[in-house]
Every structure is written in structure tokens, then in C-alpha cells.
């Protein structure tokens, strides 16, 4: 049994509760898991049904007991050590199973001399999935509702997918991620009942020359009525619902996931990083807007913190307008 400090436990509970309230309306949430892995070992995430959606991922130490066997007290006494690990989001979101060698996975050492461990909180959501080998066409379809892309990658993350008849040297690089896959897939498919995308380097940047690649997509079939808002850094966005309905946040991110949104007049250096996610985006937006008829959120580092210094960011929000009685039943 794992032990968490009160701040970590409260934050995780809040994240899961907020997301649960939204997803249960559409029967998307299936389970919640926490995995703790000692530094240098392999972390394994998996979903029996659905795909992985990482809620938080940290490296550090918040307990002197976890991963302490055989370690001197000097390596386990610092329990105020924690850093976010965005690589876990990037590598695991949208997959049914994900294995990560934690050696060197954190962006930097948050507490030199302390033996650390990785804590990943994730949920399993029953998104639809599509895998298409290089040169083929990926066909996405929703029988009911509209497509909302969850994740997309043109590259390779394992040695078995699309491997038949391929020489071993074309399958070895399993850390291959296209920097721009989400943008063209989202542009081609979001809001449609069906779409097709060609899995080729003429559509996506080739992230690993000599490796045989495939296009992996996970997506939701959302009911009609989804609203969205995009606002550039330093500006405010206003969310509004009709009278008698209130806001229910579906997703939010302050950062950058493509190189074209909010790019006018910006140098390429401020647009190049497209895996930028503020980990508190959902919590901040939900706290400011959930259950209200209208709200305003400033897209700013002062509100969300800065997830990628030097990158010009934007705030993306998707939300529903639901009947007030469905999310405010305790009102007197």
C-alpha cells in the first residue's frame, strides 16, 4: 500500500472528482490507477478496456518509506522533492499499454542526492482507436456523435505493431514521435461524423528516418453540443451558455500542441515546441467556470504557470452547456 502526502492526495482526488463528474454523464470513465516505480526501473501502465489518460506524473520523493529498502537515511529523508514529468503524458496517452524505462525520464534532477521514485496517476477511458501502417489510410467513424481527436502519433512506440515482413533494423527505434501529428489529424477530423487520414511523411514530419512507422490515433465520439474556445497567451476567453444552462468543462490545455495556432507574427523558435501542457489546466478552468452560466479565463503564466519557457502559448477549452439542475441539485 502506497502513502501520499496530504497535498498530493488532495490534488489527485480533486482531479479525479472533477473529471469524473464530467465523464460520467457520457459513460466514458472506466477506472483510476496509481503506479509508483523506483528510479531506474520500468514503469508499466495498462488498461483492460479503453486507453490511458495520464492525470499527473511526477518524479521525486514525498514519503521516506516508498522505495527505501536498502537505502541510507540520507537518500530518503528529503520528502519535499517533486517535479512534473511531461514525457509520461506524451508517451502513454492514448495507448492501451505503455512501458517506460524511468532512467533519465525526468527533465532534471529535482533533489540531488535523494533516491527518487515516479508516481503516475491515470484513468482508463474507452476511446476509439485506429492504427494504420505507413502508406495506408486511417478511417475514423462515429455512429452517433462527432469525432474529437484525443491523441495522434505518426512514428513507432513498440517493435510489434506493423512489423510483418519488416527487417529488424526498421523496428528498433521505439521512441519515435512526430512533432506535429495532432494538428493535421484534428484539423481533418474534429467535428465530423467520419474522416480519413493518410499515414505518410507527406502529411506528417518524418520523426525517425529508417524506421518503419505507423499512425496511431485515439478519439472520442462526442454527443452534439460541444463548444470550444481558443485564445492566445495574454488574452482572455469568455465561455457562455444559454439561460437555464451552465458550463460543464470537458477538456482544457494551456500550452501548445501545434505550430500554427496563435502563430501570426511569432518567430519559429516560439512555435517549435508542440508537446507543451500545463498540468493544472483542467483544474484551473474547472474551478473558474464549472457550474456557471458564463465565465472569463485569462491565458497567462500567472494563472497556469509556464509549462514551456520561451514558447508562445494558447488556451484551448472544450465544454458543454448542461441543464442547471443536472449539476447544481443541492441549490436551495
- 67 sits in the region (left: phi over 0; alpha: psi -120 to 50; else beta) called left
Tell me the CATH number for domain 128-222. 2.60.120.740
Residue 246 CA to residue 319 CA, distance in Å, equals: 10
**Average pLDDT rounded to a whole number, residues 255-274:** 87
What residue has cell string 483542467? 282
C-alpha cell at 94: 492514448
Which of 104-118, 182-196, 251-265, 314-328 has maximum average pLDDT? 104-118
Say if residues 228 and 316 touch (Cβ distance below 8 Å).
yes
pLDDT in tens, 27-44: 334 457 899 999 999 999
Give pLDDT tens digits for 207-247. 999 999 999 999 988 776 778 899 999 999 999 998 889 99
* Residue 4 pLDDT exceeds 80: no
| C-alpha closest to that of 42 among 105, 133, 90, 84 | 105
pLDDT above 90 (res 26) = no
- Burial of 179 from C-beta contacts in 10 A (0-12 / 13-18 / 19+): middle
Contacts of 329 (CB under 8 A, 6+ apart): none
Percent residues over pLDDT 70 in the chain? 88
Q: Which residue has the cell 499527473?
A: 56
Can you give the length of the chain in residues?
332
For the cut 50, the answer to whether the pLDDT of residue 196 exceeds it is: yes
Residue with cell 483544474: 283
Range scoring the smallest mean pLDDT among 1-10, 110-119, 139-148, 258-267: 1-10
Q: What residues contact 268, with CB distance under 8 A and at least 6 apart?
A: none
Average pLDDT, the chain: 85
Residues 6+ apart with CB under 8 A from 112: none
Q: Which CATH architecture has domain 6-125?
A: Sandwich (2.60)
DSSP alpha helix (H) spans, the chain: 6-23, 86-92, 182-189, 281-289, 301-304, 324-327
List of residues 6+ apart from 113 with CB closer than 8 A: 74, 75, 78
* Class of domain 227-327 as given by CATH: mainly beta
The half-sphere exposure of 265 on its side-chain side, counting CA atoms within 13 A, is 1
Whether the per-residue pLDDT at 321 is higher than 50: the answer is: yes
CB 15 within 8 A of CB 283: yes
Instruction: Return the SS3 of 232.
Output: strand
Which residue do the cell numbers 467535428 mark?
191
Distance CA 251, CA 52 (A): 15
Q: What is the CA radius of gyration of the chain?
A: 21
What pLDDT, on the 0 to 100 scale, is given for residue 40?
Answer: 94
Q: Pinpoint the residues of the chain covered by CATH 2.60.120.740.
A: 6-125, 128-222, 227-327
Average pLDDT over residues 280-305: 94
Amino acid at each position: 500500500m502506497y502513502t501520499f502526502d496530504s497535498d498530493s492526495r488532495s490534488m489527485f482526488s480533486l482531479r479525479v472528482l472533477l473529471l469524473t463528474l464530467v465523464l460520467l454523464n457520457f459513460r466514458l470513465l472506466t477506472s483510476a490507477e496509481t503506479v509508483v516505480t523506483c528510479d531506474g526501473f520500468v514503469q508499466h501502465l495498462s488498461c483492460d478496456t479503453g486507453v490511458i489518460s495520464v492525470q499527473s506524473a511526477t518524479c521525486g520523493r514525498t514519503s521516506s518509506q516508498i522505495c527505501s529498502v536498502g537505502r541510507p537515511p540520507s537518500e530518503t529523508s528529503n520528502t519535499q522533492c517533486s517535479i512534473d514529468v511531461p514525457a509520461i503524458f506524451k508517451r502513454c496517452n492514448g495507448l492501451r499499454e505503455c512501458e517506460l524505462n524511468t532512467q533519465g525520464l525526468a527533465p532534471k534532477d529535482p533533489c540531488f542526492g535523494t533516491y527518487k521514485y515516479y508516481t503516475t496517476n491515470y484513468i482508463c477511458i474507452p476511446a476509439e482507436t485506429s492504427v494504420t501502417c505507413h502508406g495506408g489510410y486511417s478511417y475514423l467513424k462515429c455512429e452517433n456523435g462527432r469525432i474529437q481527436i484525443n491523441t495522434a502519433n505518426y512514428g513507432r512506440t513498440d517493435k510489434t505493431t506493423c512489423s510483418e515482413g519488416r527487417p529488424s533494423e526498421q523496428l528498433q527505434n521505439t521512441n519515435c514521435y512526430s512533432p506535429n501529428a495532432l494538428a493535421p489529424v484534428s484539423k481533418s477530423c474534429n467535428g465530423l461524423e467520419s474522416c480519413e487520414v493518410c499515414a505518410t511523411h507527406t502529411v506528417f514530419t518524418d520523426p525517425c528516418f529508417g524506421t518503419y512507422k505507423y499512425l496511431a490515433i485515439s478519439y472520442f465520439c462526442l454527443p452534439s453540443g460541444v463548444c470550444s474556445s481558443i485564445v492566445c497567451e495574454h488574452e482572455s476567453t469568455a465561455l457562455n451558455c444559454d439561460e437555464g444552462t451552465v458550463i460543464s468543462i470537458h477538456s482544457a490545455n494551456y500550452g501548445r500542441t501545434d505550430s500554427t495556432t496563435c502563430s501570426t507574427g511569432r518567430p519559429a523558435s516560439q512555435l517549435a515546441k508542440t508537446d507543451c501542457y500545463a498540468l493544472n489546466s483542467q483544474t484551473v478552468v474547472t474551478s473558474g467556470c464549472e457550474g456557471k452560466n458564463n465565465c472569463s479565463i485569462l491565458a497567462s503564466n500567472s494563472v497556469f504557470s509556464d509549462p514551456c519557457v520561451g514558447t508562445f502559448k494558447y488556451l484551448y477549452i472544450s465544454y458543454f452547456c448542461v441543464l442547471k439542475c443536472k449539476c447544481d441539485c443541492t441549490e436551495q
